[in-house]
Structure 1
Amino acid sequence: MNLITSEITAFLSDALRCEVGPEDDYFALGLADSLFALELVTFVEERFSLTVEVEDLDLDSFRTADRITGFVQRKSGAAAHPEGP
């Protein structure tokens, strides 16, 4: 498990008050709801210095720690290499 995934699973486990693995879909398991999704987006923005745009708000990108890791890596890469005009 890489550092980003470790930080995300630690946050999720603490916030949800149960052990969450990198591939656990906490929404499907009934551990999270739409209010938690807002908390999760705020965590991602603050911890990884990213801006989650409206078009980024696809629940599938936030269902598991592994998917959030992929999202963070894509956004970080996009921030490092913005598209030209």
Structure 2
Amino acid sequence: MTATTTKVASYITSSFARDLVGTELPGDADLHAMGIVNSLGLVRLVSWVGQEFDIPVAELDFTPDQFHTVDRIVEFIRIHTDRRP
């Protein structure tokens, strides 16, 4: 598990699934289908990713599907932080 994966999983579990710990959340688990992150939670999650990783999410085109799993969120972060000059 990378540091980014751990950070994302820990945020999700502490904010939306307090009965889990980050290491218990598989990277490919569908957060929406499992009821962990609903539409309001998605807004919070996107906002947190933007603030935590200094990504201008308001300026980007993205879909909710990119935030349905920890793995997809980490990939989104990687793509948008790798583009920095």
Specify the SS of the correspondent of 2:84.
Answer: helix
Q: Superposition pairs for residues 55-66 of structure 1, below 5 Å?
A: 55-56=61-62, 58-66=63-71
Across the two proteins, how many residue pairs are aligned to each other?
A: 79
Could you tell me which of 25, 28, 52 is aligned with 1:23? 28
Could you tell me which of 32, 36, 39 is aligned with 2:37? 32
Please say if 1:75 is aligned against 2:59. no
- Which runs of 5 or more structure 1 residues have no equivalent in the other structure? 81-85
Q: Which amino acid aligns with 1:18?
A: D
Identity of aligned residues (%): 27
**Rounded Cα–Cα distance in structure 1 between residues aligned with 2:19 and 2:75:** 23
- Which runs of 5 or more structure 2 residues have no equivalent in the other structure? none
What is the TM-score of this pair, normalised by structure 1? 0.84
Q: Which amino acid aligns with 1:11?
A: Y
Shift of 1:21: 2.6
Query: Which residue of structure 2 aligns with residue 12 of structure 1?
Result: 12
**Rounded Cα–Cα distance in structure 2 between residues aligned with 1:24 and 1:13:** 12
Superposed CA RMSD in Å reads 1.3
Specify the SS of the correspondent of 2:55.
Answer: coil
Query: Which residue of structure 2 aligns with residue 44 of structure 1?
Result: 49
Shift of 1:54: 4.7
Specify the SS of the correspondent of 1:55.
Answer: coil
